[in-house]
Structure 1
Amino acid sequence: MTAFSQLHAQNHKITELSNVFLYLIQSREMCDTETACDVFFEYTGKVREHIELVDRELCGRLISYPDQSVKNTANRFLSGSTEIKRIFNKYLKDWCSEPHRRLQIRDYSEFLNETEQMFALVLDRIQRETEHLYPLIRKLEEKDKVAA
């Protein structure tokens, strides 16, 4: 049985951290604060944790399902995860020092623009999971219960 409560809690926390961080960085002075950095690095950790959980627990199960359309859905999400991880890692490399847990902002307007785009990409992924992946898993779990 899939722990949807855990997934929804992760989604909620990622959304909350995203909103707080985007609010904080509207002011350039806030970008260098310890609080902003703490929110940012908590966000990055939660995003990585969530994507790994979805890939491993949901898509990993769906990929071995006999129905080809289910496999295709899993493949699309896994492919999307790979792309998001690639973009996310480049974003992190460009804008922060993970070992020192601080942001490295050379061009504030570019940072703000890329951050808004990156965070929107993550939130879009969460929305697609909620609207497409979770209902599919629930439907398959119900189907398996009936068959058992």
Structure 2
Amino acid sequence: MLSYDELHAQNDHITELTNTLRLLLTDRLLCDSHITAELFCRYVDAVKEHLEITDKKLYTQMLTSADQQVTTVANRFMGGSKEIKRIFNDFVKKWCNMKKQQLMVADYEEFARITDGMFDMVLDRIQDEVEHLYPMLRKVRGDDKYAA
């Protein structure tokens, strides 16, 4: 079973990592820090894990609903998840060495711009989940404690 408390804890953890990394990455020298790179790799893993859990556990009941609005919301979130995964994979290929837990920042200005956009995208997704996905899922499941 997957509880809403677990989902909210994941979202809180991702938000905390985002806020910390945003601050660290304002300093070019800290981009080369092993601690910053390790934290960034944890962020990437946390976001990917959260997306995988939501993809595998949350949408099935919504997609089989007779309510067209519910299936539309599920399809929208699934499409968004696919796009976020694509962006993340492209980002990791260009800027991260996950095995060595290193950031590979050749062009700091480009890295800062792209990373900031990625952070915004993830935080917007979290807000959408809390405001739209979870309430819809509660309605479909009739359960305020467990999402799946």
Query: What's the TM-score once normalised by structure 1's chain length?
Result: 0.92
> What's the counterpart of residue 35 of structure 2?
35
Percent sequence identity over aligned pairs: 45
The one-letter code sitting in structure 1 at the alignment partner of 2:88 is F
Unaligned runs of 5+ in 1: 144-148
> What's the counterpart of residue 94 of structure 1?
94
Residue 129 (1) aligns with residue 129 (2): yes
> What's the counterpart of residue 54 of structure 1?
54
Q: How does 1:1-148 map to 2 (within 5 A)?
A: 2-142=2-142
Deviation at 1:2, TM superposition (A): 4.8
Which structure is higher in RCO with an 8 Å CA cutoff and minimum separation 6? 2
Unaligned runs of 5+ in 2: 144-148
- The 2-side partners of 1:42 and 1:98 are apart by 9
Structure possessing the higher radius of gyration over alpha carbons: 1
Q: Deviations over 1:51-83 (max 9, x none)?
A: 111111111221122222211111110011111
Deviation at 1:142, TM superposition (A): 2.4
Q: Deviations over 1:29-62 (max 9, x none)?
A: 1111111011101100100010111111111221
- The 1-side partners of 2:61 and 2:103 are apart by 37
Structure with greater helix percent: 1
- The 2-side partners of 1:61 and 1:20 are apart by 35
Superposed CA RMSD? 1.3
Structure 1 stretch displaced more, 66-75 or 40-49: 66-75
Runs of 4+ aligned residues of structure 1 deviating over 4 Å after TM superposition are: none
Query: What's the TM-score once normalised by structure 2's chain length?
Result: 0.92
